[in-house]
Amino acid sequence: MAEPFATFWLRVQPGFEVLEKFVAAVTGALGGDAVRLTVSTSFGNNHVELSSIGVREIAANPEVVALIQLLKSHPQAACRVIRVIVQQKHNLEVVYKEEGTAARLDFDNVNAKEVARVISIFEKHFTFSTKSAIIDASLPETHKTNLRYYEESLSALQNAVAQIATFNLEQRKQQSEYLDKKQAELDERFNARQLEQDKILAVRQNELNEREVDFARKLAAFEMRESKVVRRQIFADMKDAIAKRKFVLSQHTTKKRWMVHGSCGGMFLFAAIAIYAFASKVLTEQSPDWHLFVPLSAATITFLTTAIYYIRWNDQWFREHAQSEFRNVRFADDMNRASWLAELVFEWDKEKAGAMPDSLLSAFSQGLFVSEKLAVTEHPIEGILGTLKGFTRIKVADVELEKGAKK
């Protein structure tokens, strides 16, 4: 609930006296306005509630008059609550309410001037006081003495607390000033020390940067010399390995040759036996059968073609061996040229401050580590068959052969 605009305390009086004074004050303050009046008493269910009545009609209202007469006949009866509301005056509200040994009079309105005018009229009919004074007047003498002692003790305690609070505040203020002063001194010393340390750090940082630059330069030079030495050492080791290496076939590779030797030897033996057998029959018979010339010719052709193939195969074998030795020599030469080219590229980058032109690099590196391929040895029969593939028509005696047809 919101607090009223103004509150005043009154001494509790008999109910009829309070009601008469309240009606007189309202009549003088509000004039001819229409109001709402509510009266509650402590005597049974005797109450008055008027929802809308003129102010000047309140004193002559039968219900109000009857209630005043009833309260006069019972002086111990009290008015608990008296409330009057004036809607035409910005909702002005005046409330009388008893609270134990004291009564309060509340005024509430949004218009401060109107409330001040009404309070001035009520003050002519009621004696305003404080709650403590009213309670003090209603207490016995012993209680008054105790109350005064309590109030004096409370006042002394409040003064002591106020002094302590003032002292603490002063101490805190002095302490804060002292700490601020010390903090300012420490900050000044710290800033000066920090500035000095920054200068020292800047000098050392510059020295360190110079040392790092010098170290990087020396390291680059050392790595260049080291890489050159290592590269040359690797090249020397490779040259020694190439010089010491001899081209010798392994036993596994040598064993593979015996299969060719054996096959060709078998073909030679078979063809020689066939030639001898059929040639003997042809030479011993007076009129040899022409059918004997066919196997004799086949055996002779087999012997000759196998001999040609065997000679070619051995020639290729020897040429591959010779080519391998030549490749070794060529590889050693290529290694020398590649090493020279690598040195040239590094020196070019160092001296010319740029990459070597691609055209020059391609010219220097042309043919490096490139080997020629050898032709595959073919059997004479394969050559004859390859030649026959080039003809579209072959005619032998009465037999004519054509690709895709036979006559």
Digit-coded pLDDT (tens) for 30-48: 877 788 888 888 877 778 8
What is the pLDDT at residue 406? 42
Q: Which of 101-105, 188-192, 366-370 has the lowest mean pLDDT?
A: 366-370
Q: Report the pLDDT averaged over residues 275-282.
A: 82
Of 347, 345, 368, the C-alpha closest to 356 is 345
Q: Confirm whether 367 is domain-assigned.
A: yes
User: Which of 115, 140, 165 is where one domain is finished?
Assistant: 140
For residues 370-392, average pLDDT: 63
Whether this prediction's pTM lies above 0.75 is answered by no
Name the residue with higher pLDDT: 132 or 303. Answer: 303
Beta-carbon contacts of residue 39 (< 8 Å; ≥ 6 apart): 19, 47, 48, 49, 64, 67, 79, 81, 82
pLDDT at 235 over 90: no
Considering the chain, what is the average pLDDT of its residues? 79
In this structure, what DSSP letter does residue 129 have? Answer: B
Neighbours of 326 (CB within 10 A): 13
Percent share of the chain, pLDDT over 70 = 77
| Last-in-domain residue among 117, 140, 163 | 140
DSSP one-letter code for 110: S
Q: Are 365 and 341 in contact (CB under 8 A)?
A: yes
Is the pLDDT at 7 greater than 80? The verdict is yes
Lowest-pLDDT range, 89-93, 257-261, 263-267?
Answer: 89-93
* Residue numbers of the domain that contains 297: 251-376
Q: Is residue 285 part of a domain?
A: yes
Lowest average pLDDT, out of 38-47, 203-212, 241-250, 320-329, goes to 241-250
298 domain-assigned: yes
Nearest to 55, CA basis, from 124, 121, 111, 151: 121
Tokens of 390: 């080039």
Count up the domains in the chain and report the number: 2
Residue 188: inside a domain, yes or no? no
Please give the Cα distance from 382 to 327 (Å, whole number): 30
CATH code, 122: 3.30.310
70-84, 156-170, 171-185: which range is least confident on average?
A: 70-84
Does 254 have pLDDT greater than 80?
Answer: no
In the structure, what pLDDT confidence band is assigned to residue 321 with cuts at 50, 70 and 90?
confident
What local confidence, expressed as pLDDT, does residue 201 receive?
92
Q: Which of 5-19, 173-187, 378-392 has the lowest mean pLDDT?
A: 378-392
Confidence label for 191 from pLDDT (cuts 50, 70 and 90): very high
Weakest mean pLDDT among 264-268, 294-298, 316-320, 394-398 = 394-398
Q: Please check the confidence at residue 54 and state whether its pLDDT lies above 90.
A: no
185 in any annotated domain: no
94 lies in some domain: yes
Which of the listed residues 140, 166, 188 is the one where a domain comes to its end? 140
pLDDT beyond 60 at 312:
yes
The share of the chain scoring above pLDDT 90, in percent, equals 11
In a domain, 212, yes or no: no
Return d(Cα 144, Cα 33) in angstroms, integer: 45
Residue 309 pLDDT grade (very low, low, confident, very high; cuts 50, 70, 90)? confident
User: Of 154-163, 247-256, 299-308, which range is least confident?
Assistant: 247-256
Given a cut of 80, whether residue 155 has pLDDT beyond it is: yes
Q: Which own/partner pairs from 272-281 qualify as long-range (CB within 8 Å, at least 24 positions apart)? A: 272/303, 274/298, 274/299, 274/302, 275/299, 275/300, 275/303
299 lies in some domain: yes
Given a cut of 80, is residue 1 above it in pLDDT? no
Q: Is pLDDT above 80 for 272?
A: yes
> Helix, strand or coil for residue 48?
strand
